[in-house]
Structure 1
């Protein structure tokens, strides 16, 4: 053995890399910025498509130029796909207070961080609808007034429901569909049983399906930040019904989080 070879009985000497700090993940500020940007994209894309493109009129030959319910549903889903892949690695890609609280109930997110996420999400949503409002100020005569009198793509029931559905229907779809949404999120992002690489696409397609089901019922919330952001420009009727679209998506998210934890993530001895 060469005199330059290390003694196998002697412990290896530490190198400078052994004393280097371990790489850290994104900081709190970065996570909150990611949630704000992701929610901005979701609301700007989804509510914006509903306001600007859903009912654009018809061409000279009578063909509809609007994207309709299907187009708006796809817009909400596509924004989630884009946001999940762009900012999900930073913050987890919640973009929704009901999802944040549901993930906390499922044990996948720290309760202590929930308030900051929710504030960032609400701010992101409000910035998005404010930009849409400013766009409307420069729109055709009467466009903004018509958009606001129509609720500014807010959620609603009774007279504010696209299909005339009542309060009970709105409560059921918000609880059930938010729970379904969170069940899918929890399943597809599971570290051992899920398929995280496909998570953004699966979650976005699920949100598209949810909108296809429930736009006629209450214009689809499943996201209090989206509902708050639209209602502040939707007038008194939208604001008076806003509580439903804050409370019941959260209820659905909490139910799904607790049930998923009990059924699928229960610790065994």
Structure 2
């Protein structure tokens, strides 16, 4: 139960602070500021809840860990449920905060930092580009996670390496998809915003899971294990 609570809190923090930076301060801090917000939120949680649950805070990461043989199927299910609930709660709290703006807040127009693609969204990239980016970015992200937390790795620095990787992924991906690489992060805002965000949610579930599965399977083969010389 401690692991599930930790994953709930960690995912809540990532979505609330990361999406919150985009919604509340995006016009002030820009792409770089939003990317740093997501990365720093992850770094903080890595050291805050990492000793409890490993700080997956992402169903794609949990899938990669599962396929790499580092967690049980039972724990995987508990993690994913806690992560999704944490993301939904974070989106709900974020909406309650921004709706308190005296000038009013149009949820349908201003959103909650939801992911997407196509006409009218960010750089207006197509479906193929969005799908490919999410698969590749998630594969790279989960590869860094599995490598930096594996046997023989300097795990004390893992949280920093993982968080900085997330920063770079956001810098590249914000204008493509808003950057998901995390089905739970996409689920929370999409459920509240509805419309295109909800109809496009499938991509931000399927593509990250494909990328994460590839990373997990690669790790399970031992292809990236350190070799003694």
Give the TM bin, normalised by the shorter chain: over 0.9
Matched, 1:228 2:187: yes
Match of residue 125, structure 2, among 146, 158, 165: 165
User: How far is 1:260 from its partner?
Assistant: 2.1
TM-score under structure 1 normalisation?
Answer: 0.81
Runs of 4+ in 1 over 3 A off after TM superposition: none
Distance in 2 separating the partners of 1:85 and 1:206:
16
Partner of 1:252: 211
Distance in 2 separating the partners of 1:140 and 1:212:
31
Say whether the 8 Å CA contact 2:134–2:207 is kept in structure 1.
Answer: yes
Partner of 2:26: 54
Partner of 1:127: 89
Q: What do residues 32-79 of structure 1 show as CA deviations (whole Å, max 9, x unaligned)?
A: 000000001100110000000011xxxxxxxxxx00100000000000
Unaligned 5+ runs, structure 1: 1-28, 56-65
Say whether the 8 Å CA contact 2:24–2:98 is kept in structure 1.
Answer: no
TM-score under structure 2 normalisation?
Answer: 0.95
Match of residue 86, structure 1, among 38, 48, 52: 48
Corresponding pairs, count: 225
Higher relative contact order (CA 8 A, sep 6+): 2
* Structure with the higher fraction of residues in helix conformation: 2
Alignment of 1:92-103 (within 5 A): 92-103=54-65
Matched, 1:34 2:6: yes
User: How far is 1:160 from its partner?
Assistant: 4.8
